[in-house]
Amino acid sequence: MSHGKQFTLYSHAGGGPNGWKVAFVLEELGLAYHPIYLDLAKNEQKSPDHTRFNPNGRIPTLIDHHNGDYVLWESDAIILYLINKYDPAHKLSVTAETDKYDLIKWLFFQASGQGPYFGQAFHFLRNHPGEKLPTAIARYQREIVRVWGVLDGVLAQSPGGWLVAGRMTAADLAFFHWNDAMLALNVLEGHPDGEVDFEKQFPAVHAWHEKMKALPTAKKLVADREAAKAT
């Protein structure tokens, strides 16, 4: 890999948020990376060219060429690696012990709660082959609302409306792209309990999301994603 960048990031040009949330951290920390966009529809993530780095055959995968070509996969593990190793100014990381565990707590919740439930809602509503499965769609639509409720209750009580330490951290970046994708794709269409008004029902999450969306890095990544999709 002779592209001259510190990192290679295997990702996906479409809306798959896990690769883009790693890119968000790389961009915010000013770390140079070369993205390789795999075509998931063609199962390129399962090809030997990728699974030699990531035996799980999913994205994202990160290679750190300044650390002996160290390879890491699982998006939130990658985020922890990046902020622990390459954030000496603590732009996205924290220093107090309890704040460190709070940040890890939110990354675990993102990985176990937000990501899987939001992803399954999209799958059963938009990608599931054959007949629609109303019970599966309803389950995951309700989970989106539940996760938003958890976030809203915490953000409403948090200084500055951030998840950890009263300021933006990697925890906020980890949640943003999944949230943005679900809103853009309108996966709550036909919610079994009635229409969901994101702004009115979850005002703290809405305010947080708007702050995140307005970041120059977030705008750049949206443009990068659209350019990648176009090619």
Residue 129: how many other CB atoms lie within 10 Å:
4
Taking only the tens place, the pLDDT of each residue in 77-91 is 999 999 999 999 999
Taking only the tens place, the pLDDT of each residue in 114-147 is 999 999 988 888 778 778 888 999 999 999 999 9
CATH says 97-218 is which class? Answer: mainly alpha
> What CATH fold (topology level) applies to the domain 7-91?
Glutaredoxin (3.40.30)
Question: Rg (Cα) of the chain, in Å, rounded?
Answer: 18
CB 34 within 8 Å of CB 5: yes
pLDDT at position 231, please? 77
Is the pLDDT reported for residue 179 higher than 90? yes
Residue-range domain boundaries for the chain: 7-91, 97-218
Estimate to the nearest angstrom the gap between the alpha carbon of 4 and the chain centroid.
26
Residue 124: how many other CB atoms lie within 10 Å:
20
CB 107 within 8 Å of CB 78: no
Name the region of 100 (left: φ>0; alpha: ψ -120 to 50; beta: rest): alpha
Mean pLDDT of 37-58: 95
Peptide bond into 203 cis (omega under 30): no
pLDDT at position 126, please? 75
